[in-house]
Amino acid sequence: MADTSTSHNQSPPGPIEVRFRGGGFAPRSRRWVGVVVFVVLIALIQWGTQTGWISPLTLPKPSDVLATFGELWESGLLFKHLQPSLTRLVVGAALGASAGIAVGVLIGLFSHVRAGLVPLVAAIFPIPKIALLPLFVIWFGIDEGSKYALIAFGTFTPTVVATYGAVDNVDRSLIRMGQSFGLSWFSIVRKIVLPGAMPGILSGLRISLAIAIILLVAAEMLGAEYGIGAYILEAGALYDLERLFAGVVILSLLGVILSGVIGVIERRLLGWRT
Amino acid sequence: MVTFNRRQTLGLIGAAAASSLAAPAIAKNRKVVVGALRFTSHSGSFIALERGYFDDAGLDVELKFFQAAQPMAVAIASGDVDYAVTAMSGGLISLADKGAIKVIGGALSEEKGIDGQKILASDAAFKAGLTAPSELDGKTYGMSTAGSSFHYMGSKVAQAEGVEVKFKPLQKVGAIIGALKSGQIDAWSIVPHIAKPLAGSGAVHIIGNISDYLPGYQVTTVFTSAKNASDERDQTKDFLAGFGKGVSDYNSTMIDKVGGDDGVNAMVDLIHKYVYTNRPREKAAPSIINGTMRINDGAKLNIASIRDQLEWFQSEDLVGKDITLDTVVDGSYVETYEG
Amino acid sequence: MDIRLESISHRYGDTEVLRDISLDIPTGQIVCLVGPSGCGKSTLLRLIGGLERPSEGRVLQLGSSPVGCLNPLTFVFQDFALLPWRSVKGNISLVLEDHGIRGAKAKATIEDVLARTKLSDFANALPKQLSGGMKQRVAIARALAVNPAVMLMDEPLSALDSQTRELLMDDLVSLWSRQPFTAVYVTHNLAEAVRLGHTIVVLSRRPGEIREVVTIDTPIQDRSAGDPVCQRKHDLLWELMREEARAADEELIDG
């Protein structure tokens, strides 16, 4: 109360509007910003390469990359490269992800399996799968077998980790509820554990599938005549930047499409989330 | 070329003396980075460095080692390396087309009658009847990447025999060897110092010589950045002079045996500092001696072979059709010939 | 069907949670378990429901379950425990599916329990669309669907605000008056206990022992907030519990 006397000397301050200090920290959907960033970047590169400010050794002209892409499309080579790559991706990722989910669920449900497999998974997770490619060639043959195996192996471990983490995170009270209503073990797993773990499994799949695309290039290092990865590697060896970038763009598009597909699945399956 | 003739006629000491006489004309100790692989075929650079031929030429050379030819070519293009020796490849031509590099001389070449690259068959394929290159039809052929020298060789052999082979890109020599040993691929071609020990182990079989199909094949070339080739002519000449001396020491000692066994032993000691360093000397020596191949004296360049390679790369759509020989080669530094 | 507890004791490791509890839960009555927090009342409920095994003593079922009973001992949880990915209808059918009840028979049961809990209009709603009170009514409907012999209610109203709690208590009262059910009702709220309990069992602080068993004879449909009998019972219970509650409150966790 001491300062009431001092404030008497000055005229009392007029009403001051409270300063706004909230806001921010709440990401909102601004999809067009991403598009603008892309367009500006590509325009800048086009201008730079056109004027010679960027040497042809540094970056290819975006228009030339587009032309290369057009040639790929017209000659039908695009599908000749895409078809084996997509097959490898689908088969490899399907094998890896389904095995990963199965093992992850088993680890999540059984203490013995957990004790036995978690250290093993932790041990194989950091192995660069590419390093094992020569070994896979011996085990599974130089043709499709080793490629499926590499992609499957690469997607397996992150799926396992994501899945058992997701199973661990399933609300225990729901499981207790299932038990209290006398549901069978199998019913509890199928109707409570699996749907409850689905958000975690799907976000794990997002990462696993991106890894599958990365490994596609690695898988096509050995003995692949056709395939997007083989195409990129060949372009790199020939220092053909237009083809290299065309290939990389295809991989990026593949990534965006896969992520979109998972997004759609998430919206369909996980509409119940608040 | 004058330097070439002189080096041929002068002895070792004489050459060193001659260049040290010429040295004062050039600024001393210009820093130059030379790229190399740890192969005996790069001995020219090792000898020139160890025996001071680069110093004599007024160059302060630093060797930079690479695992493969491809990154070395990129390092030249980026200016991290000034000179290097590597096999002709689609990548090299592509970089030349982008105005980044120039071929300025020749190194390893095939010559009929001299031990050169071997065509290999896996044991399984050999037992199934792949005993000669004419049996290659429908077989798989190993290569590092499309547009590599392996691709060129295999394709040329197949063309000559009128057969179709399937190429398997395996990126690395180690991977190709593994695939060949385990029978994942049927055939391959490689320099003798790798081919012979492989065949000796019984896991693969030598079924032919590349020189029978590509006589005079210019396997590796000396190359530099386009900037060095056009703007640093003196330095480039000096490098070639030093490198050339190293090469002629190598040829005279290892092939012509001018210095007898002692000379060979001394040379093996020198090369062993750079090649097979992880093996003891007695184990490295046979490999080094086995790997002996003639390197072009004076870095002369077989322009006919380069032309043939360029045309083949173009016919396979691996490099642009509009690339001319002059874009790739600067023939003003060394003697060129049509072999 | 009656439930009898025979000198139940329970320990978690070295911590004794319950000591020598013997109690009868007669058919058609609501037995409330009250006590300070941490006295083991929820543990006792889980022991009765078979979700945990007592260290000593037995829980006995006396007599047979009513006809059509799918799950004699049925829980209603404080946090509702609804599957968020199933609709109201789906959550109820979950507990029927495993007993082989599907199709028309399941539909009839679901419609019946939804009508009894006044949820018929929300059959297809997802839990995230419902308020807390609605969610608990779904949980109660789900419990009713299996036609339980005994309902084991673990602080069913504690997660709700006081107005909703009042409404749901009214709902429970009218449910019981239409069709009396047996229930063990755990709560720390004395108002709920005097409103719903035929018998109120007061537990002491840990280790939980039965301190007092209070019976209220006023029929539960006749009780109201200002009822003097209920108020006296409430005060009596509070006298019994005050010291225990204070001591329990001052105890160190894990201390």
Contact B147 A238 (CB under 8 A): yes
Measured in degrees and rounded to the nearest 5, phi and psi for residue A161 equal -65, -45
Of B140, B146, B185, the CB nearest to A237: B146
Cα gap C3→C253, rounded to integer Å: 32
Shortest Cα–Cα distance, C63 to chain A (Å): 20
* CB atoms closer than 10 angstroms to residue C168: 21
- CA A169 to CA A108: how far, in whole Å? 9
Between the alpha carbon of residue C87 and those of residues A58, C104, C123, C125, the distances in Å are 57, 18, 7, 5
Q: List beta partners, residue C200.
A: C32, C214
Contact A222 B178 (CB under 8 A): no
Q: 3-class DSSP state for residue B106?
A: strand
What are residue C212's DSSP bridge partners? C202
Q: Specify the range with the lowest mean pLDDT, choosing from A162-176, C53-67, C212-226.
A: C212-226
| Structure confidence at residue A108 (pLDDT) | 92
Q: Report how many helices (DSSP H) and strands (DSSP E) chain C contains, helices first.
A: 7, 9
Contacts A230 to B, Cβ<8 Å: 169
Q: State the amino acid at position B51 in one-letter form.
A: R
Does the distance separating the beta carbons of C49 and A271 come in below 8 Å?
Answer: no
Pick B169's closest partner by Cβ from A55, A133, A224.
Answer: A224
CA B266 to chain centre: 22
Q: How many CA atoms lie within 13 A of A153 on its CB side?
A: 22
Encoded amino acid at B53, one letter: Y
Closest-approach residue (CA) in chain C for A194: C85
CA distance to partner chain A, nearest, from residue B89 (Å): 8
Q: Could you tell me the residue ranges of all domains in chain A?
A: 61-269
Q: Supply the DSSP string of A219-232, one letter for each residue.
A: HTTTT-SSSHHHHH
Q: Which amino acid is at A196?
A: G
How open is the CA angle A249-A253-A255, to the nearest 5 degrees?
115
Give the single-character DSSP code of C221: G
Q: Mean pLDDT in runs of 10 for chain A (274 residues)?
A: 53 83 78 87 92 85 91 90 94 95 93 92 88 82 88 93 93 91 91 92 92 90 86 87 91 90 88 78
| Tens digit of each residue's pLDDT (9 = 90 or more) over B306-335 | 999 999 999 988 988 999 999 999 989 998
CB atoms within 10 A of CB A178: 23
**Helices marked H in C28-87:** 41-48
* Chain B residue with Cα closest to A230: B169
Give yes or no for a contact between C35 and C245, defined as CB atoms under 8 angstroms apart: no
Cα separation, A141 vs A137, whole angstroms: 5
What percent of chain C has a predicted confidence (pLDDT) above 70? Answer: 98
State residue A204's pLDDT score: 92
Query: Do residues B159 and B131 make contact, with C-beta atoms less than 8 angstroms apart?
Result: no
Q: Which two structure tokens, joined as six digits, stand for B187?
A: 């055939």
> At residue C159, what is the residue type?
A
Per-domain boundaries in chain B: 2-109+218-337, 118-212
B239: three-class secondary structure by DSSP: helix
Give the nearest partner residue to B169 out of A56, A223, A240, using CB atoms: A223
pLDDT of res. B123: 93
pLDDT of residue A101: 94
Phi, psi of A142 (to 5 degrees): -80, -15
The Cα B53–Cα B33 span in angstroms is: 15
What is the DSSP-derived secondary structure letter of residue C248? Answer: H
**Min Cα–Cα distance to chain A from B48, Å:** 30
Rounded Cα distance between B91 and B145, Å, is 10
- Distance, CA of C84 to CA of C139 (rounded, Å): 12
Sheet containing B139-143: give its strands across: B165-169, B139-143, B187-190, B118-122, B204-209
Across the interface, of A138, A223, A234, the residue whose CB is closest to B170 is A223
Question: What is the CATH code of the structural domain delimited by B2-109+218-337?
Answer: 3.40.190.10
The DSSP H or E segment spanning C142 is: helix C132-145
Give the separation between CA C7 and CA C27, rounded to whole angstroms.
20
Kind of pairing, strands C182-186 and C30-34?
A: parallel
User: C80 φ, ψ to 5°?
Assistant: 70, -40
The first and second tokens of residue A162, run together, are 């994501």
- Kindly tell me if the per-residue pLDDT of C14 is higher than 90: no
C50, A14, A219: which is closest to B169 by C-alpha? A219
Six-digit token string for A99: 């095995």
- Is the Cβ pair A187, C70 closer than 8 Å? no
Q: Which residue has the tokens 């020139």?
A: B48
Contact B285, B268 (CB under 8 A): yes
Q: B83: helix, coil or strand?
A: strand
Q: Tell me, what's the pLDDT at B122?
A: 94
Helix-strand-coil percent breakdown of chain B, rounded to 5? 50, 20, 30
Cα-to-chain-centroid distance, residue C140: 10
Cβ distance B94 to A233 less than 8 Å, yes or no, reads: no
CB contact under 8 A, A274 and C98: no
Predicted pLDDT of residue B63: 93
Q: Within a 10 A sphere around the Cβ of A145, how many other Cβ atoms?
A: 13
Chain A residue numbers with beta carbons less than 8 Å from the beta carbon of B144 are 237
Residues 6+ apart with CB under 8 A from A107: A113, A114, A117, A118, A121, A160, A163, A164, A167
What is residue B213's predicted lDDT score, i.e. its pLDDT? 92
Residue B293 and residue B86: Cα distance in Å, rounded?
15
Q: Which chains touch A (3 or more CB pairs under 8 A)?
A: B, C
Does residue B285 have a pLDDT over 80?
yes
pLDDT of residue C224: 75
A264 close contact with B: CB closer than 8 A: no
ipTM over 0.90: no
CA distance A254 to chain B (A): 24
Tell me what pLDDT residue B19 has.
44
- Summarize pLDDT for C105-146 with one digit per residue, the tens: 889 989 999 998 888 999 999 999 998 889 998 999 999 898
- Three-state DSSP class for residue B269: helix
Tokens (6 digits) for B2: 């004058």
Residues of B with CB under 8 A from a CB of A: 70, 73-74, 77-78, 89-91, 94-95, 98-100, 140, 144-148, 166-171, 174-175, 178-179, 182, 184-185, 318-319
**What's the rounded Cα separation, in Å, for the pair C36 and A113?**
41
Quickly list DSSP for A77-142: HHHHHHHHHHHHHHHHHHHHHHHHHHHHHHHHH-HHHHHHHHHHHHHHTTS-GGGGHHHHHHHH-T
CATH architecture entry for B118-212: 3-Layer(aba) Sandwich (3.40)
* Residue C180, number of CB atoms within 10 A of its CB: 14
Per-residue CA distances from C79 to A176, C136, C159, C203 (Å): 12, 8, 7, 23
DSSP assignment letter at B218: B
Q: For residue A137, which residues of chain B lie inside 8 Å, CB to CB?
A: 175, 178-179, 182, 184
User: What tokens were used for C116?
Assistant: 């009894």
SS3 A23: coil
In the sheet with B220-225, reading across from the earlier edge strand, the strands are B59-66, B30-37, B83-87, B220-225, B101-106
DSSP state for residue B169 in the 8-state scheme? E
Given A56, A224, A239, which is nearest B91 (Cβ)? A239
Token digits of residue C226: 């200002």
Amino acid at A113: V
CA B172/CA C94 separation, integer angstroms: 58
Å between A265 CA and nearest CA of chain B: 37
C vs B contact (3+ beta-carbon pairs below 8 A)? no
Give the gap in angstroms from C-alpha C224 to the nearest C-alpha of chain A: 33
Q: Does residue A193 contact residue A109 with C-beta atoms inside 8 Å? A: yes
> Which of A238, A240, A243 to mutate against chain B (most B CBs within 10 Å)?
A238
SS3 B115: coil
What is the CATH code of the structural domain delimited by A61-269? Answer: 1.10.3720.10
- The length of chain C, given as a count of residues: 255
Task: Give the closest-approach CA distance of A191 to chain C in angstroms.
Answer: 8
Question: Kind of pairing, strands B118-122 and B187-190?
Answer: antiparallel
d(CA A62, CA B189): 38
Q: What is the pLDDT of residue A10?
A: 66
Tokens found for residue B277? 């360093």
Supply B338's token pair.
């049509």
DSSP letters, C85-127, are TS-HHHHHHHHHHTTT--HHHHHHHHHHHHHHTT-GGGTT--G
pLDDT at B271: 92
CA atoms within 13 A of residue B258's CA, in its CB half-sphere: 9
**Chain C residue whose CA is closest to A274:** C128
